[in-house]
Amino acid sequence: MNCWRVQNLIAPFLDDELPTPESEAVAEHLEECPPCRDVIEGCAALPDFPRVELDADVESTLWSEFDRCLASRIAHSLTEPPPGEVAAGGLMHGDLRVPRTFAAAAAAMVVMLVGWNWMTYERLDRLEASIEERDALIVALQDRVAEGAPADAFALGTDPETSLEVLLPAHAPGPMVLGSTRMPNPYRTTNYRVAANPSPTLIR
């Protein structure tokens, strides 16, 4: 038995609460270890624990007042929920104490999960809308081609004011602006040649 273990058994050893084999092991260690022997002798020599000694009159008055107050509180509690169900520093349910920090962390996690789910559904909704829009634009381009317009006559672009996708003439006068168009779909970005067209036409 080592010193650390012995010093964790000082109180039950002195109180004669240890089983015989362990008590003998502690005694054997003490014979060979002066430091542990000094510690245990010091603990054995501790003075008696202090007790508050009250005058008989004070104590008598205290208990009569205690009984009177207790009777009043019990009568009062019968008309209200019993006290002590919520304790400062935590929530109490029966004998279970829920620390305030745990409750706050759990509430924060719930809020984050709800918020994440809401954002995810919002993104899914926007993704579906952008796919529908893209499909409509492709159909419009195909219709134009079917009507005889050359395939490269139009290009998909983005209205800089509304950020909506538009079909623009591919060869327009004026400077050509190269850039990337950020689609409403957050998972894809596509580069388009955007023409400097003062009045883009939304094709649907």
Partner 1 sequence: MGRAALKLVPTKSAKTISDDEIKAISAQNRDRAFDLVVRKYRDRIYYHALYITKDSQEAFDVAQDVFVRGYHEHRLFDDGFRIKAWLFRVCTNRCYNIVRDKHRRGGILDRLGKQTEVLTKQHKAIDDVLARELSEGMARAMDELSLDHRTILTLRYFNDLSYQEIADTLQIKLGTVMSRLSRAKVRLHEILQETEAE
Q: Binding of partner 1 at residue 83 (CB under 8 A)?
A: yes
Selected from 19, 34, 52, 161, the binder of partner 1 by CB under 8 A is: 52
Closer Cβ to partner 1, 50 or 150, answer by number: 50
CB of 24 to partner 1, least distance (A): 16
H helix runs in 53-99, sequence order: 56-77
User: According to the binding rule CB under 8 A, does residue 24 interact with partner 1?
Assistant: no
The helices-and-strands tally (H runs, E runs) of the chain is 6, 7
Cβ-in-10-Å burial (0-12, 13-18, 19+) of 138 comes to exposed
Phi and psi of 76, rounded to 5°?
-65, -40
Answer yes or no whether residue 61 interacts with partner 1 by CB under 8 A: yes
State the DSSP H helix or E strand holding residue 187, giving kind and residue range, or none if neither. none
Helical axes 20-32 vs 34-44, angle rounded to 10°: 120
Are the C-beta atoms of 9 and 22 separated by less than 8 Å? Answer: yes
Q: Which residues pair with 87 in a beta bridge?
A: 90
Among residues 46 and 178, whose Cβ is nearest to partner 1? 46
Residue among 188, 167, 190, 161 nearest 178 (CA)? 190
- Stretch in the footprint of partner 1 (CB under 8 A) among 51-59, 116-124, 146-154, 182-190: 51-59
- Taking the C-alpha atoms of residue 189 and residue 204, their distance in angstroms, rounded to an integer, is 21
Total number of residues binding partner 1 (CB under 8 A)?
48
Member of 56, 88, 146, 178 binding partner 1 (CB under 8 A): 88
Q: Which amino acid is at 177?
A: V
Output the smallest distance, CB 28 to partner 1, in A.
18
Among 95, 147, 152, 161, binds partner 1 (CB under 8 A): 95
* Alpha-carbon span 21 to 18, nearest angstrom: 8
Pattern 141-170, partner 1, x by CB under 8 A: ------------------------------
- Nearest CB to partner 1, comparing residues 54 and 177: 54
> Binding residue for partner 1 (CB under 8 A) from 16, 31, 53, 147?
53
Which residues of this protein are in contact with partner 1, per CB under 8 A? 7-12, 14-15, 17, 39, 42-43, 46-55, 58, 61-63, 65-67, 69-78, 82-84, 87-90, 95, 97
